[in-house]
Chain A
C-alpha cells in the first residue's frame, strides 16, 4: 500500500489529497478480491484434475478445453441451487456463518508479500495479525455447526474448534522460531532476513535444521488449521457426512468452500513467506522487471505448496480425532518448544557449520525419541501364521 502510494502520489500533484490515498487503498483490495478467488477457482480445478490423475482418471474435461471453464460452471450451478435452511435452524446465525467464514481468510492475504515492498499492508506485527485472524475462522465453523441444528454438524463444529485451537499452539511456536531468527514480526522483514551473502536461495530458513523442522511443523499446523487431509476431521465425509456444512447448500456452501480454500492458500502463502524465502529467487534485482520475477517466484512456490497439499490429499487416510489431538500435544508441541531452544543455540554459536551439525543432531535425536514414544503401543509390526 505504501509503495503504491509513494509511486502514484507524484502523478496526482494538484489533485485532492485523498485521491492517491484512495487509489492506493483500492488497488490492493481489488487485487486480493480479484486474484485470490481466481486462484481458488482454479485450485479446485487443478485439485480435481490432479486427484483424477492420481486415481487413474481424467478429471473434469467436459466444460471447455481441458475443463477450463469448470469453475465457472460450478459457480453457476451453486448460484442457481435452492438455498435450503433447516426448519429448526437458528436462521440468522445460519446465514451469518458462511459470511464470517470468508472474512478472516481474505484478511490473511493482507500481510502476504508478493514482491519486494509489495505487500497489501506492511504491518510491523504481521505474523501476530495472521494468527489472530486465522483463529477467528473457527468462530464461523462453530456458528454454522451450531445453527444448523443437526447432530453431525454439531459434531463437526466441536471437532473443528478442538482441532484449530490445538494446532494453533505448535504453529505459533514454530513461527516464534522464525521471528527469533529474523528479529521481526513484519513479513517483509522476515523475507529480507532470508537473503545471505547476496544469494537469494541459500538463506531460506528451510535450509537450516531448525528451519526445516519449523517448516514441517508449520505446514502440518497449516494443513490442520485449514482442515485439509489428513486432518480434515471437521468435515470427514465418511464419518459425519460433511461436518459443519452438512446443512448448507447453494451459494452458502460455496462461501464455506471459498473461505476454506482461501485460508489454505493464505496459509501456504505464509509458509512460503516464513520458510521458503517468500518472493526471493534469482533475478529479482533486475531493474523494471525484477518485481514481476519476484511475484513469479512467489506464486510458483505457492503453487508448489498447494500441489503438495493435493498430493497428500490423494494419498493419505485421515487420522482419528483423539490421535489428532495426541499428535498436536504430544509430538508437535515438544518438538516446537525444542525448536525454539535450538534457534537460540544457533543464534549464539558463531561457527555456522558446527551449529548446523549440532542443531541437526539435537533435532534428529529428539525426532527419533518422540517417534519411538508415540509409536509405542499404537503401531506394531505383525507377522501372520498359516493354518496347518
Chain B
C-alpha cells in the first residue's frame, strides 16, 4: 500500500520512458512506430491484397479471362460488370469486350480470385488509387485492369510461380492429348479433346500450332509449354484459354468435381469447341442423343460456373438431377433459351 498519488507517478514514469524511448528508437519501430508515409512505405507482405486485376500472357490480347462471368455472379457487392466479346455474326469470342470493376464498391474480399477457374483475375497490391472524380474515375475498365503475368510474378512471386507451373503442366498435358489422346491420363477429370483449329477466328499475330504441322506429340507439348512459359502470344490449338479450363480442379482451395463426368469418346466431342457458333454446334449434334444436344447448347468453356463441366451439366440435366437451366453463365440467355427449347422438344419440360 503506497501513498495516495503513487499510481499517478507510476504512470508518469511510463510516459517519460516512452518519451525518451522515441529518441533512441533506431529504426526498430518499438517505440517510434510511425511510417512517414509518402517518403517511406511499409513493406507489403506477399499475401497483401488491394484490388483485382486481369492477367494476360505476353500481349494484352492474350488475356486469360474468357468472360465466363463467374466472378460477376459470385462478387458479394456486385461490383464487376462483364460483356462478352462477339464478332459481327454474334459468335462469342471467349474474351470480354467490357470488363469493369467499380473500385468504390469493391470490398477487396478476393472472392473473385478464389472462384476463377482460369487463373485470370488476381489481387493487386497497389493501394494508391485516389482519383479526383467520385464516379467515372473510380471505375476501372478493361485496359486499366489488364496487367502482365510478369507484373504478377513481380508482386506475388511464390503464388505466381505456382500458378505458372500449373498452367504449364496443364498446357503440356493438353498438347499431349491433342495428338495421342490417352483418355486415362486424367482419371477424375474430363479429358477435353483438342479443339479444332480455327484459322478464321484466330486473331492475327498469334502463333498457332496447326494440327497438320509436322510435329510429334512430344515436340508439340514442348512447343506449347515453351510458348506459354516464354510469354509468347499463343492462341488457338496449343494453349488457348480453353486449354486452361482444365485447371479448375486446383484453384487455391481444392475444388473437387461435383460429378465425375463421362470420359470423352475416342473421337472427342467435335462440338466441344468454344470457337464454334451455336448453330454450327447444333448442326454437329443433329443425330446425337439429348445429353449431347444439351451439351452442344452450352458455351463449351468448362468454366464450372454451373458447378459441373459442360459434359456434367448436360448429363445432369438429361438425367433430371439438375432442374435449373439458367446456370450456364458464359452462354448467357442464348444457352438458357436453347436448353429450354431442347428440353421442351424432348418432352421433359
Q: Footprint of B on A, CB under 8 Å?
A: 50, 53-58, 311-312, 314-316, 368, 371, 374-375, 381
Contact = CB atoms under 8 A, between A and B. Distances in A.
B18 A55 contact: yes
11 contacts: A54-B15, A54-B18, A56-B34, A57-B33, A58-B34, A312-B12, A314-B15, A314-B19, A315-B12, A371-B3, A371-B5
A368 B22 contact: no
A50 B11 contact: no
B16 interface: yes
Contact of A374 (B4, B15, B16, B34): B4
Contact of B15 (A58, A315, A375): A315
Given A315-B8, A315-B14, 15 more contacts: A50-B19, A53-B19, A53-B22, A53-B23, A55-B18, A56-B21, A56-B34, A57-B34, A311-B12, A311-B16, A315-B12, A371-B3, A371-B4, A371-B5, A375-B4
**For the side of the interface on B, what is the size category?**
20 to 34
A314 B33 CA distance: 18
B8 A58 contact: no
B8 A316 contact: yes
Contact of B22 (A56, A311, A316, A375): A56
B36 interface: yes
Nearest to A364: B3
B32 interface: yes
B31 interface: yes
B148 to A, nearest CB: 37
Contacts of B32: 56-58
B11 A316 contact: yes
Interface of B: 1, 3-5, 8, 11-12, 14-16, 18-19, 21-23, 31-34, 36
B15 A368 contact: no
B42 to A, nearest CB: 15
A56 B14 CA distance: 12
A31 B328 CA distance: 84
A279 to B, nearest CB: 28
Nearest to A61: B36
A315 B22 contact: no
A56 B18 contact: yes
A39 B15 CA distance: 24
A57 B15 CA distance: 12
Contacts of B21: 56
Contacts of B12: 311-312, 315
B233 to A, nearest CB: 48
A72 to B, nearest CB: 21
A311 B16 CA distance: 8
Contacts of B16: 311
Contacts of B36: 58
Nearest to A374: B4
Nearest to B14: A315
Contacts of A57: 32-34
Task: Give the residue among B5, B16, B21, B22 with the most A Cβ atoms within 10 A.
Answer: B22
Contacts of A375: 4
A381 B22 CA distance: 33
A147 to B, nearest CB: 37
B46 to A, nearest CB: 28
Nearest to A308: B12
A191 to B, nearest CB: 29
B25 to A, nearest CB: 8
A50 B19 CA distance: 7
B144 to A, nearest CB: 32
Nearest to A50: B19
Contacts of A55: 18
A334 to B, nearest CB: 15
Contacts of B3: 368, 371
Contacts of B23: 53
Nearest to B25: A56
A220 to B, nearest CB: 11
A311 B5 CA distance: 16
Contacts of B15: 54, 311, 314-315
Contacts of A312: 12
B26 to A, nearest CB: 14
A315 B17 CA distance: 12
Contacts of A50: 19
Task: Give the residue among B3, B4, B14, B23 with the most A Cβ atoms within 10 A.
Answer: B4
A94 B3 CA distance: 46
Contacts of B18: 53-56
A315 B11 contact: yes
A50 B8 CA distance: 19
